[in-house]
Chains A and B, each alone.
Chain A
Amino acid sequence: MTEPITPMEVLPMPAEAIELSVEQPWSSPRAMAVAALRQVLAAQPTALPMGPETAAEDEGRMLSLNRFALQLVTSGISADQIEVDAKPWEEQATAPQLLLAAQVDEENAVVAFGGVLTGPEFLALAHAAERNGDQLLLAAGVFKGGLQRLLTLVQLLEPAALPRLAFGGMGVNVQRQVVTIADWLGGQLDGALQQVFGAQWQPLTQGAFFSGDAAAAERDALALVAIPLGLDGDQLVCGQAAEGCIERFVLQMVATGADPALPDGLVLRLIAAMTGDLLPDGLVITARQGSHEQRQTANSSTHIELVFGGGAELIDVSLSYPGSSDLVLPPLQLPG
């Protein structure tokens, strides 16, 4: 029999939490988050200008930190989901470069900065996020690195290195922007796949990437694109967000064909990041081409794969895991 769990009556204060005055009547969680941010910035050896000077506490107001456009979102300190106002992301001109999550405990006057998402990281998550009106609901755990990550990025990066990305250009609509698989043969990788999903194109010497029993299936391999994936708690994440995960795996997408200039097949394979590791049980890959659907679920599996033999109809690929939002790729297209 399992030992009963004695519930925690108090919660540990998150590392690097900032304590504010309990005497001050704070007008809102955002006002507390702004005050905590200013407190940290004031202690930095290098001046990092933050604006606006006034009205930074106004809900929805975009902040500017060392020339970076910063969206600040708040939640309760024990929250597992954070609401993000999606309106600024509708247009490139208003889209933030960074999204900072502050978890605020109003009862104890404590602010913990969960971490930061860059524009591409946010857009990758926004695809499958639950939506409530203009609010997107993201798992609190997807914000990584605490305030230190924010300080690192705004001090080291050039603002131009983080372009403003909007849903219209690269976000939600990216799901309908078709990715042409034939482009992979020339080393071209669709911008959305690269920036939003962290996909990496790799030159492929035919069959050299694979070993063992997988080799036969890919003797006609023409190009390989890989998306790093991970489980952050129960949440599926991709690209850079996957790098810090303990459970990491890769989606390999291999264009295949007998004609070196014309792919006529696609292999979708999930493998663990570490050779020989098992994939997380319950991880599902689903791909649909027209009315033909293939689905595989990991169950003590080192790899799972789906093979498509051609056809010009779009191939819709999604990944799911119990408790996580689905990760949906843009449609892939083989030459007709």
Chain B
Amino acid sequence: MINFACKSIFTIFLLILSINSFSHHAFTAEFDANAPVNLTGEVIKVEWINPHAWVHLEVEEAGKKTTWMVEGGTPNTLIRNGLTKQSIKPGTVIVVRGYQSKGKLCLPRCIANGRDVTFPDGRKVFMGSSGTGAPRDGADPRERR
């Protein structure tokens, strides 16, 4: 009897714990932390819009061109980090590290969450937002504080 009561209490505890652990972050709702991407391509379009800026890249792999839409932080955050309308212009070839969306069909284009962008001169800039639940991968300078 005591054994059963203990088991019951433990089960209740575990179940309540599991119910309470469903709180989520914006990143995990849309992007796959287990699908990192490293994209090199030419910028074809930049959307400086809230709540997220979007950088469209044309990535060529094995002779095949694929368009990627990479989500960044808010435009204001990017400007504070040193990314401006002048620095990330169409025609610039950049390298973006990030994570692909949970949906991987790439129809009509592939989607990723951008963590950092590297320019032709080697300058690397954080292009995400802090506190969204993205993996702590060293891209966000605030993580190191």
To the question of whether A and B form a pair in one complex, the answer is: no
